[in-house]
Structure formats: C-alpha cells, structure tokens
Chain A
Amino acid sequence: AQSVSQHNHHVILSEAASLELGCNYSYGGTVNLFWYVQYPGQHLQLLLKYFSGDPLVKGIKGFEAEFIKSKFSFNLRKPSVQWSDTAEYFCAVNDFSSGSARQLTFGSGTQLTVLP
C-alpha cells in the first residue's frame, strides 16, 4: 500500500525566511502528487499538483514543488514566507497500482507557524 511521509511535524520560521517541507512516498510507479493547505478556520485547499511534464511545479501564493522521481520526493518550497502562510500543509499522492487513481493517500501534515 502507498504511504506518504512528512517528516517535519511542526516548523517555526520568521517572516522572510525560506521554506522547504519534505514529502516522500513509497510507490514506485506512476503517481499524481499534490500539496494541500489548510489555513486556520478554513477548509482544505489545493496548493499545487503534479501529473506529468516539468518536475518543477508552481502553485498559488508563490509556492513551488519539485518532483524527484529517483528520490520518491515532492518537497514544497517558498523563498520568502509571510505571516499569512501560517497553516497546516498536507502532501498527498494517488497512484495507479490498483488500476485507478482514486486512492489519495495523505501524509500526516506539517504545521507551519510564521512569526511576524
């Protein structure tokens, strides 16, 4: 079964610091990769996704992620965080091991706190 690891459970940064959140998955075949964000009091929103093509994906609010197939990784980055980026971030993967891509497996999430 697919598993997704987010090793950083809580990250605390000051404004303007650079961010990198790690995400590793286990399935070695074709995958679709996602980052979702949940701001305080709001519902889960899509930040960016990778299906195919350029492994460097740009999302909303200045976020980007890089798919490195050899490392089974899809790390999220932002060069300069803002206080408003305080949120919980979830990496998710769906794979085609069962013949369909309906199985979306989530990591346990990383809580990002940005200090003003």
Chain B
Amino acid sequence: SQTIHQWPATLVQPVGSPLSLECTVEGTSNPNLYWYRQAAGRGLQLLFYSVGIGQISSEVPQNLSASRPQDRQFILSSKKLLLSDSGFYLCAWSVFEDTQYFGPGTRLTVL
C-alpha cells in the first residue's frame, strides 16, 4: 500500500532563516505531488505541484520554492522565512489525475 511521509512534524524558525520541508511517498511510481498550505478558517491553498522529476508548477507567487530531485521526493524550501510563512504545510500525492492523498503535515512557526 502507499504511504506518505513528511518531516519534520513541527518546526520553529526565526525570521530570515532558511527552510527545507521534505515529503516522500512509498508504494507508487511517478506520482503527481503537491504542496498545500492550510490556514485556520481558510481551507487549503495549493502552492506547488509536480508531475515528474524536475517539473514544478507554482500556483501562488511567494517566498517559497519547491523541488523534486527524485521520483517520490518533494521538497519545499525558502531562502529567508517571513512571519507570513507560518502555517500548516501539507504534501499530497495522486496517480494520474485521480484522488489526492495527504501526508500528516508540518506545523511551521516563524518567530
């Protein structure tokens, strides 16, 4: 069966510091991968998606970037965090354009 991992589970970072969040999927090949941010009372906002290694589409201009160095690995990064980057970050995967399945998420607090 397929599983999705995210780490770290929680992270507290100072403003201006770099960020790297990792997501890996097991049990499937060539998945579509997604990064979302969940804000309280505002649902989930799609940040990036990827249909293959090195292929990244950005949905919202911002201080973040994404990379996909391996088929089942998706990384969310920032060179310098802002206070507004605080939130709950979710990774998801799907096969073709079917149902998206979500990871446990990373709670990021920028101080």
Contacts and interface: CB of A to CB of B under 8 A. Distances in A.
Interface of A: 4, 6, 9, 34, 36, 43-46, 49, 90, 92, 94, 100-109
Contacts of A107: 43
A102 B44 contact: no
Given A43-B105, A103-B46, A104-B46, A49 B41 contact: no
Contacts of A101: 97
Q: Interface size bucket, B side? A: 20 to 34
B90 A44 contact: yes
Contacts, number: 44
A102 B32 contact: yes
Given A44-B90, A102-B49, A104-B46, A9 B41 contact: yes
Contact of A106 (B44, B49, B51, B104): B44
Contact of B99 (A46, A100, A105, A108): A46
A106 B100 CA distance: 12
Contacts of A108: 41-43
Interface string B4-47: 00000000000000000000000000001010000001111110
